[in-house]
Structure 1
Amino acid sequence: MSSNPNPGTARARLAAHCLLLLLVWISPGHAQPANPPQTDGRWLRFGVLPLQSPTKLADMFMPLVEYLQRSLHRPVQFVTAPSFTIFMQRVMHHDYDIVYLNPLLFTQAEKAGYDAVAKVLGEPFTGILVVRRDSPLHGIDPAQWHKGLIVGFPDPRAYAATVMTRGYLRTHGVDVTHCCRIRYFGSQDSVLMALNSGLVGVAGTWWPSLRSMPPAIRRNLRVIAETPPQPQMPIAVLDSLPAALRQDITASLLALHTHPRDRAILSKLGFPQGFIRARNAEYREVK
C-alpha cells in the first residue's frame, strides 16, 4: 500500500534544489548555459554586478550570453556574485573576461585592466528616490527628513541608487548620515520590497529596477526625485584578451539591436535600444 510523500520532506528537497541552483549562479567558475557550443576555445566568463537577485539576473542576461556564444563561436558563461564587494574582488583578480557594472566601479575595473567597449543606449543613467504612494514626502524638503525616517539603499557602492541619490540629497540640504537612519538591503529588488512593506520610508534605486517590480507594487510607489544623469552602465572586457576577440565582442554587442529576431534579448535586459560604443575616457570624471 503506497503512502503520500511527506509534504515537509518534499519542501525540504525543493529548497535544497533551489539552494544548489543559487550556489551555481553565484560561483565564480561554474555557471554554464545548457548545450554550450562545441569549440576548442576556453570559456569566456561574463560577470554581472549583483544589482538584482541571481535568478532575476540570470533571466535577464542568459539570452545575451547565448547570443554572444552564437556570435563569437565560443562558450560563454554567466556569473554573478553574492555582493558588490565580492564581485569587485573577483574583478580585481581577473576572474571575469567581460563585466557589466556601474560607472563608479568601472573606474576601479579600469585600473585592474578592463576597457569599456559598450554602454546602454537610450535612457539616461539616473538615480531615483521612491516612497510609498501614501507617504507625506513630496520632493526634497529638509524639514521632512528627520531622525525617525529610515532610508533604504541596495548597497553602499550602488552608484545610481546610493552614491548619486545621496549626493543629490546633500545638494538639497539633506545629509542622511546625520538626519536619518540608513539601512542597506543588498539588491535593488530587496530595497523596493522593503519600501513596499513599510520597513523603510524612502528607497534609493534606479528606473530599471522600479519598472521590473510587479504591477501591484509599482502602483503602490511613487518617485519624489531624480538625479542628474551620469555616463551609462558599461560593458568592459579584460585587456589581456586577444585584440581580435575584444573587437568581436564589441561588434557583437553593438550589432545586437540590428537583428529583429534578437530584439527579445534586449527586452529581457530592459535596454530596448541596445548598446552604443563606450570609451574609458568618458568615465574618468565619475565620482
Structure 2
Amino acid sequence: MKKIIFFTLIVTYSMATEITLGIVPQQSPLKLAKKWIKVTDYLFKETGIKVNFRTEKSIPQFEKELKMGTYCIAYMNPYHFTVANKSQKYEAFLRAKKNIVGIFLSKDKEVDFSKENLKGKTFLFPAPNAFAATLLTKFEFKEKFGFDIDKEAKVLYVNSHDSVYKGISRGIGYLGGGIIRTYNNFKSKNDKDNINIVYKTNPYPSHPFAYHPRVSKEVVLKIQNAFLNMPDDIKEILSIKDFKITNTQEFDIIKNIGVK
C-alpha cells in the first residue's frame, strides 16, 4: 500500500510540474523554437515547472489541437481564444500590454481602396482565422470601404505571416495581411525592401496566454509572475516590451466585431 501511495504522489507531482505550452505558428516552427526554447528555459529556472514548447506546421492544425485541449497553456490570437474558451473552457490570464493592430502590405507605396481597384485582385493571408492579419483586415475593409474580400477578390492562404510578406514582395498577391510585430521581425531584407504598410486596423486586445482547466491555479500564478518579471533581454526575443494581467472578459469585444 505504501508503494502505491508513493507512486501516486510521484505521478501527481510530475503532472503538476510539467506542462505543455502551445504557440500559434505565426512563423515557421524552427523560428519559433529558437525563440521560445529560451523562454521555456527561463520559466523553468524561475518556477521549477518544466514547460514543454510545442507548435504546429500550420495555424489550422494549431486550431485543431486547441479545440481538443491539447495544450496546458496556449498563446493564441484573440479569435482563437473565444473559440477555445467556448470549446475547452480555457481562461485568459496574461497578454502583451500593447494592443494588436492588423496591417495590409503592398509593393505599392499607396493603394486605391476603391471597389473598382480592388475587385478581382489577389489577397494573401496567413490563415482563415488569423485574427488581426485576416479577420480584422477583412472586417474593416467591409465596414469602411464596402468591399467584401471573400466575395469580390481572390484569396490565398499561405500558412504564415512570413509567407505573406514574401508573396507580396514577389508579386504573388496585390495586398497581404499581417501584424506589426511579425513585420518588424521579418528578416528577409531583399523582400522587406519591396513591401510597404499601406493600411492599419483599429487596435484590439493582443494575443492572450490562456490555461486549460486541468492546470492548477498555483501553476498559472507562478507562470504569470515569471512573465511579469521577465528580464528585458528575454522579452526582446519575443518582441514584447511588457506583459499585463488580463482576464477572459477583456476579450468579449472580439465577439462583437462581426468576425466568424
- TM-score band by shorter chain is 0.7 to 0.9
Give the drift of 1:95.
1.5
2:133: which partner in 1? 161
Matches of 1:139 and 1:277, distance apart in 2: 40
- The counterpart of 2:176, out of the listed 183, 198, 203, is 203
SS of 2:147's partner is coil
For residue 20 of structure 1, what is the aligned residue in structure 2?
Answer: none
SS in 2 for 1:78: strand
- Listed one character per residue, the Cα deviations across residues 233-252 of structure 1 (whole Å, up to 9, x for unaligned) are 10111222122112111111
Q: Deviation string for 1:200-227 (max 9, x for gaps)?
A: 1110111111111223322211111111
- 1:76 shift after superposition: 1.2
Structure 1 residue matching 2:253: 3-state secondary structure: coil
CA contact (8 A) 1:120 1:234 kept: yes
1:109 alignment partner AA: A
Q: Is the 8 A contact 1:130 1:224 kept in 2?
A: yes
Given that residues 139 and 225 in structure 1 are in contact (C-alpha distance below 8 angstroms), is that contact kept between their aligned partners in structure 2?
Answer: no
Counterparts of 2:77 and 2:37, CA distance in 1: 19
The equivalent residue for 1:36 is none
1:95 is the counterpart of 2:67: no
Whole-angstrom CA distance in 1 between matches of 2:162 and 2:168: 10
Counterpart-to-counterpart distance in 1, 2:224 and 2:76: 16
Partner in structure 2 of residue 48 of structure 1: 23
Give the letter aligned to residue 66 of structure 1. Answer: D
Task: Name 1:22's counterpart in structure 2.
Answer: none
Secondary structure at the aligned position of 1:46 is classed as strand
Paired residues of 1:153 and 1:205 also in contact (CA < 8 A): yes
Tell me which residue corresponds to 2:10. Answer: none
Query: Is this contact kept in 2: 1:211–1:218, CA < 8 A?
Result: no
Q: Residue 85 of structure 1: CA displacement?
A: 2.5
Picking from 90, 107, 129, the partner of 2:104 is 129
Match of 1:221 among 186, 195, 198: 195
Aligned partner of 1:119 among 78, 90, 95: 95
Structure 2 Cα separation of the partners of residues 176 and 126 of structure 1: 19
The RMSD of aligned alpha carbons is 1.6
Secondary structure, aligned partner of 2:229: helix
Q: 2:220 aligns with which of 238, 241, 246?
A: 246
User: Structure 1 pair 68/108, CA: closer, same or farther in 2 (3 Å)?
Assistant: same
Residue of structure 2 equivalent to 1:276 = 244
Pair 1:265–1:216, CA change in 2 (3 A): same
Asked if the contact 1:127–1:204 (Cα under 8 Å) also holds between the matched residues in 2, the reply is: yes
Unaligned runs of 5+ in 1: 1-39, 257-261
CA gap of 1:267–1:276, structure 2 versus 1, over 3 A, is same
1:70 counterpart letter in structure 2: K
Task: In structure 2, list runs of 5 or more residues that go unmatched.
Answer: 1-12, 256-260
Moved over 4 A (4+): none
CA change 1:94–1:178 in 2 (3 A) is: closer
Corresponding residue of 1:34: none
- What CA deviation, in whole Å up to 9, does each residue of 1:37-84 have, x standing for no partner? xxx634210000111100111122121111111111021111001222
Separation (CA, whole Å) in 2 of partners of 1:114 and 1:71: 24
Work out whether residues 140 and 225 of structure 1, in 8 Å CA contact, stay in contact via their aligned partners in 2.
no
User: Where in structure 2 are the equivalents of 1:143-182 lying within 5 Å?
Assistant: 143-147=116-120, 149-171=121-143, 172-182=145-155
Say which is worse superposed, 91-100 or 46-55, in terms of deviation.
91-100
Query: Partners of 2:157 and 2:65 in 1: how far apart?
Result: 22
Aligned counterparts of 2:65 and 2:19: Cα–Cα separation in 1: 14
